[in-house]
Amino acid sequence: MPQKTKKTPMMEQYLRVKQQYPDAFLFYRLGDFYEMFYDDAIKGAQILELTLTTRNKNAAEKIPMCGVPHHAAQNYIDTLVDQGYKVAICEQMEDPKLAKGMVKREVIQVVTPGTITDTGAKEAKENNYLTAIHQQADHFGFAYADLSTGELKSAILDSPEVLLNELLSLRTKEVVIDDSVTEKALTVIDPLKIMISHQDNCQISAETSYAMQDIHSDLEQAVLSHLLTYLIRTQKRSLGHLQKAVHYEPSDFLKIDHASSRNLELLQNNRTGKKHGTLLWLLDQTKTAMGGRMLKQWLERPLLVIKKIKLRQARVKDLLDHYFERSELRDELTQVYDLERLAGKVALGTVNGRDLLQLKQSLQQIPKIRYLLTTIDDGSFKKLLTKIDPVAEVVDLIDRAIVDDPPMSVTDGNLIKEGFDQELDKYKDAMKNGKRWLAKLEADERQATGINNLKIGFNRVFGYYIEVSKANLSKLPPDRYQRKQTLTNAERFITPELKEKEDLILGAENKAVDLEYRLFVDLREQIKDYIKRLQQLAASVAVLDVLQSFAVVSEQQHFVLPELTKKHEIEISAGWHPVVQEVMGQQSYVPNDIRMPENLNILLITGPNMSGKSTYMRQLAQTVVLTQIGCFVPAKKAKLPIFDQIFTRIGAADDLIGGQSTFMVEMQEANQALKHATQNSLILFDEIGRGTATYDGMALAQAIIEYVHDVIHAKTLFSTHYHELTSLDQNLKQLANVHVGAIEKNGTLTFLHRVEAGPADKSYGIHVAKLAGMPDKLLQRAAKLLADLEIQAHSSSQTKASLHENSSPKPEDQQLSLFVPEQVPLSNQQQQVIGEIKQADLVSMTPLAALNQLFKWQKELKQK
């Protein structure tokens, strides 16, 4: 910022306003442009590709400046906000022509990444959440709102891990904090690269009190106060559409942390980062934007309560059983616009005439939707039907007031129907009569002068005029008109009579435009009284839309209704991965059974790469998710318990942003399961331990399997290439081996993609390399090396067997062969380690403590 020198009153006003919004680009209204100055101009010109100029060009202190036309400002604002900036919009609050001295200006709104309400068609099915955090000791008050829909929720989170997961799940672009949030907590947020805004002081109002009335926790009230104050401070307008805050508990839903959601590709394709190829993509047959948003919310928070799941299932079944009614229902839903966001626009004062017509058209579909639902309902929709309210009063208001083809702007007139307001009709009649008079005057003057191309025109500078081409000037009688303007090819004239009519016409037009705007604002205020009913209707229509989407997908994909059981068992007959089958085609996919009775908790899966182990694991998780959101599932028959959490470690990927290796990410994700899983959880571990040395990895994999088996008792699918682990079924009673079949014939490998009992006989790694197209010479060399290694391994195993026969080890000593070289005299230190292993109470250790102790022992045993 330049050194202070004497500045114009306008620049002093600019700097005063800018001082209040130092973290935002200030769009300062000057006539038909929004101008930026100083650093805002330099940075804004670069980002928005604008021409950078200077103010006070001849002064010692030149002021950088750039500007954008006010009518096109929204595109520039969107660009800045999309790149993570705030924009403060400073408007002229009075007519410059009427201002005495400096024009009064004020910031009317601050647009931020978390408060955008104008979304395009591509983002219609996306929520834009603004989040807030307030900390007390190790607990976090957490709240989030979608300003465009009025949704408002709060919770108490008990750890930074849960906080991080909520922020990632909501995909928030902005988080509001106060001075209670510690530096340690900020280290959790910083890597997410989201905007952090500060709001320390709270502002209590009728709107905030209403929104918080059902929240009784001090911690949640504190965070809601900061969030709502920030919204009031930035939006500077009514927030009457904000709904009452709803308390939620993350533990009230099936917990799927962000890493597991990513591994399962529920919402985002890992390869492309897009929706295509995800479970959301498969399920999304919704017809409304609000239905699309609710589907996403259901996928992020599957249910835990059997009664609620069964209600959704019953509704889906009713819709499935009524094909023709369901098809008509889909047609009607197609004509329903985004009721949630239309109600939000009414409250925020951004609604226009076309928006109100969309609202009217949407509400006109509701009686038809209600009727269709009554023909479908077998009792399951009874409660939902009571909430599907046509809000007929709003339809009547809009139908009487708004013309059939209104303009985009609400300040330019031509918005209100004739017959709605008597005073407006008088003005419009005067305008019509005046224009008829003008048409008659033009015809009369043409006849009187004999000039056929004489015309009466209008512009904003001179008003109405009579225009005569220069070629016809000689035909004009002397002194008939008063000369007003000379053009290249014509002359323009006026008459006293014309100016008198001009005053009448323009006076009526200006009054009509002003009155139309006042009538529109009054209409908008009347519709505000119905916002709560509109929001309840929107939520009910969204639920119905998601349920019909489930019915359509279940019918198209041949899904079945799963049976819910309170027993700790899984029984899936001919199940499949729904997304993979949709991409591959039904004829290409091989279905598989998954059977895990109460006494079987772990399936150890072996088989070659590319054979389908990961797909087999993911299909179980997706089947669980589908079950607990109330949809039918991909199988011929399915019986499932209610799971409380899903943990996955599938796929290998470095955390480049966090600077962590594949192995570290693998261990962290595995540790989440080992720390938090219960016997009612589902765990999917794919190739745990492959990121480190062979024996390290094998030792870790076995230790993890044993810990899950002996301590957690969760249903677990564990795939591995460590064939040595397949012997665990001899000692672990709740573990069984299965493998994905493959056939080798004449050096060619064929995957069967069928899961069969027992372990795989070998890994077929070289065959997979061949399928990948590696050079023949390389493959031949690998085959020879493999043969040599197998001969060495066979020889070593025979020697080992002979030695073991002679030494006759005790059964409890046999597991130590994984770590101790055969027939090598043990040092005192190594004997001490073996003693520690025998005495260690591994079951009572935490998973990380057990792994650390294992590494310590291994290191000591390797020392000579």
Chain segment 647-693, per-residue pLDDT in tens: 998 865 434 334 455 667 777 788 889 999 999 999 999 888 666 65
Query: Looking at residue 659, what is its pLDDT?
Result: 42
Tell me: pLDDT of 741 over 90.
no
Tell me: pLDDT of 492 over 50.
yes
Chain segment 763-793, per-residue pLDDT in tens: 555 555 555 566 767 656 666 666 665 566 5
In contact, 279 and 579? CB cutoff 8 Å: yes
Residue 256 and residue 134: Cα distance in Å, rounded? 24
Name the amino acid, one letter, at 797: S
Name the amino acid, one letter, at 447: Q
Helix 662-676 vs helix 847-862: crossing angle, to nearest 10: 130
Residue 681 and residue 264: Cα distance in Å, rounded? 16
Name the one residue in this structure whose structure tokens are 């991080």: 164
Q: Which two tokens stand for residue 639?
A: 């019986």
Query: Which residue, 40, 69, 70, is CA-closest to 55?
Result: 40
Name the amino acid, one letter, at 740: V
Rg (CA), the chain: 36
In contact, 708 and 688? CB cutoff 8 Å: no
Residue 770 and residue 766: Cα distance in Å, rounded? 6
pLDDT band at 3 (very low <50, low <70, confident <90, very high): very low
User: What Cα–Cα distance (Å) separates residue 73 from each residue in 96, 277, 727, 795?
Assistant: 20, 37, 69, 79
Query: Looking at residue 821, what is its pLDDT?
Result: 44
Tell me: pLDDT of 282 over 50.
yes
Query: Looking at residue 651, what is its pLDDT?
Result: 62
State percent of the chain over pLDDT 70. Answer: 85
Section 124-131 average pLDDT: 93
Tell me: pLDDT of 254 over 80.
yes
Number of helices (H) and strands (E) in the chain: give both, helices first.
Answer: 27, 27
Query: Which residue, 135, 131, 134, is CA-closest to 143?
Result: 131
Q: Is 444 left (phi over 0), alpha (psi -120 to 50) or beta?
A: alpha
Query: Looking at residue 803, what is its pLDDT?
Result: 43
Chain segment 205-251, per-residue pLDDT in tens: 888 888 999 999 999 999 999 999 999 999 998 888 999 999 999 88
Query: Which residue, 404, 416, 395, is CA-closest to 354?
Result: 404
Ramachandran angles phi, psi of 639, nearest 5°: -130, 125
The DSSP string of 78-120 is HHHHHTT-EEEEEEE-S-TTT-SSSPPEEEEEEE-TTS-----
Query: Looking at residue 823, what is its pLDDT?
Result: 52
Write down the H helix ranges in 123-199: 160-170, 183-189
Q: Which of 48-52, 232-236, 839-843 comes out lowest in average pLDDT?
A: 839-843
Residue 338 and residue 380: Cα distance in Å, rounded? 25
Residue 687 and residue 704: Cα distance in Å, rounded? 12
pTM of the model: 0.82
Q: Known binding site for ATP: residues?
A: 607-614
Q: Known binding site: residues?
A: 607-614
Tell me: pLDDT of 824 over 60.
no
Query: Which residue, 637, 620, 533, is CA-closest to 577?
Result: 620
Ramachandran angles phi, psi of 624, nearest 5°: -65, -45
State percent of the chain over pLDDT 90. Answer: 59
Section 837-860 average pLDDT: 68
Residue 760 and residue 613: Cα distance in Å, rounded? 12
Chain segment 524-564, per-residue pLDDT in tens: 999 999 999 999 999 999 999 999 999 999 999 999 999 99
In contact, 493 and 472? CB cutoff 8 Å: no
Name the amino acid, one letter, at 692: T
pLDDT band at 57 (very low <50, low <70, confident <90, very high): low
Query: Looking at residue 654, what is its pLDDT?
Result: 39
In contact, 477 and 449? CB cutoff 8 Å: yes
Query: Which residue, 387, 18, 89, 430, is CA-closest to 236?
Result: 89
Tell me: pLDDT of 37 over 70.
yes
- Looking at residue 476, what DSSP letter applies? S
Query: Which residue, 104, 102, 106, 105, is CA-closest to 9?
Result: 102
Tell me: pLDDT of 814 over 90.
no
